[in-house]
Structure 1
């Protein structure tokens, strides 16, 4: 089913963390984000560009992925998306004016997709901050993506492409993973549903695109200096072509810098490729993901 609304980009992610001070230090001093402010409930906002925030970290008893928020091209697209999800009987719900104000959004709604039952938020206008970022550790490009370990990658992929406006850029044979772009955003992927052995589910990673290889090199040396555990990299993905470096924080969220992602035209894009699942084909530079902490991914919050 084609949708009648258009994505601009992944807007922000919201994560629950077990120690807000520790996670704030990681987000600013290691990853290079700016701390923008704090809400009345203790949640903290972080930005990598001009938008008010790209990430929300909220204090909680246990770490978890709370939701993704997607920026659409226009207010009209937000209305079209709301009506679309109503037709699918998914009961989308508008966010109150008070909560929108707290999130620096003009208007927004949330809906729960029925496969993994994660929450998607939609908006088109977020407050923009004109003053330059104060954190100079990294030059961020602006793009973002995230990955979840889901119960059934094929089912999740089919639902999102048939009902939510996503397109498949590449997938791993056996549907062990797929890389989905939010049309017509040109980035190779903004969301990656992954299927782990034994049906393990949870939050896999969040990624921010950087401008220069120097950003990745400096991060590599920062993590060694601060004894941060590397999850994967430095390497290069055979799918998107991106150079990558993934690292763990203390809640075992995985954070990624990525550079050089393949860009797709709005029309005439290549077809999705079926990629090998053989370990020797997993990374163009021979990087191997960490296995020691592979089962420690925080869960995602499941809506009733």
Structure 2
């Protein structure tokens, strides 16, 4: 099977480090992420807010910035070492993804910024500030970064994001060659080209999903996801959202691909946000990417819950 992946796996990029979301209603979005989603506000600098989940080891994993339109400001991928960062920047340039260095931002050092064929702004970096809990946030277990948050949903840690691309295969192939993403699952409906791909850096079900952009635009975001510990936390999140007046778009249910348990909402700015738990973990070094032609058994999700029209029709920025 020709999947466009490099012959030798590359493990120079360790994790999804952070995302930046843009919101036309900054204060409302900030209240959502703190009071309903349950993130901690680390700092407000330069007009942006920097937040984190209680299980994130990094100082900040979400940057929220006011903007005329909702969408993805940028996404940051963290390298495993300074040498790995240099290797990946060289690979990006060799692959035709020329970019530029920035000095850094709250929580991380210098970063190389570029755009893949799908148009989203991405960066790779290594230097990062770890979160150090003090006071009542200090955990009783030293291998936890912070005491558990019971505010709102209590989102634990950043998990993945889903971006849109007109050329799904081309985008995931160049990210595989330059950054080392591994293809785990992909969707090719009968008579159509590739419309979805799920990729990870290490052994997760996915750090990045890429789905087909049907409009003649680029750079749009489908969703950003934070993980919670288990399915019960996703179910509790559903009750929490409703209790706090936050409409649910989709779920709770189980994905066919990734097998993760999920729940989606639209935050006040319009960006889709997921609460995610579980998902397959991949330990075999010779994992064969799973090709899907339809949803499992003709069902829209693993257990048959239909997908609402907004899930395929809504992305940010919203098209006029």
Aligned length: 291
**Bigger shift: residues 124-133 or 10-19:** 124-133
Q: How does 1:1-304 map to 2 (within 5 A)?
A: 1=6, 6-39=12-45, 41-48=46-53, 49-96=56-103, 100=104, 102-113=105-116, 115-131=117-133, 132=137, 133=146, 135-137=149-151, 138=153, 140=155, 142-174=157-189, 175-182=194-201, 185-197=202-214, 202-265=220-283, 267-269=285-287, 271-278=288-295, 280-292=298-310, 294-299=312-317
* DSSP 3-state at the match of 1:265: coil
Q: Distance in 2 between matches of 1:163 and 1:238?
A: 28
User: Displacement of 1:278 after TM fit?
Assistant: 4.5
* DSSP 3-state at the match of 2:238: helix
Q: 1:3 touches 1:84 (CA, 8 Å); kept in 2?
A: no
Q: Distance in 2 between matches of 1:247 and 1:253?
A: 8
Gaps of 5+ in 2: 1-5, 138-145
Gaps of 5+ in 1: none
Q: Distance in 2 between matches of 1:93 and 1:266?
A: 36
**Structure 1 pair 293–238 and aligned structure 2 pair: CA distance change class (3 A):** closer
Q: 1:4 touches 1:80 (CA, 8 Å); kept in 2?
A: no
User: Displacement of 1:266 after TM fit?
Assistant: 6.0
Q: 1:8 touches 1:73 (CA, 8 Å); kept in 2?
A: yes
Q: 1:116 touches 1:151 (CA, 8 Å); kept in 2?
A: yes
User: Displacement of 1:142 after TM fit?
Assistant: 3.3
Q: Distance in 1 between matches of 2:310 and 2:120?
A: 27
Q: Distance in 1 between matches of 2:311 and 2:97?
A: 36
Q: Over the residues paired in the alignment, what is the CA RMSD in angstroms?
A: 2.3
Q: Distance in 2 between matches of 1:107 and 1:42?
A: 20
> Match of 2:141?
none
Q: Distance in 1 between matches of 2:182 and 2:24?
A: 34
User: Displacement of 1:15 after TM fit?
Assistant: 1.2
Q: Distance in 1 between matches of 2:92 and 2:295?
A: 38
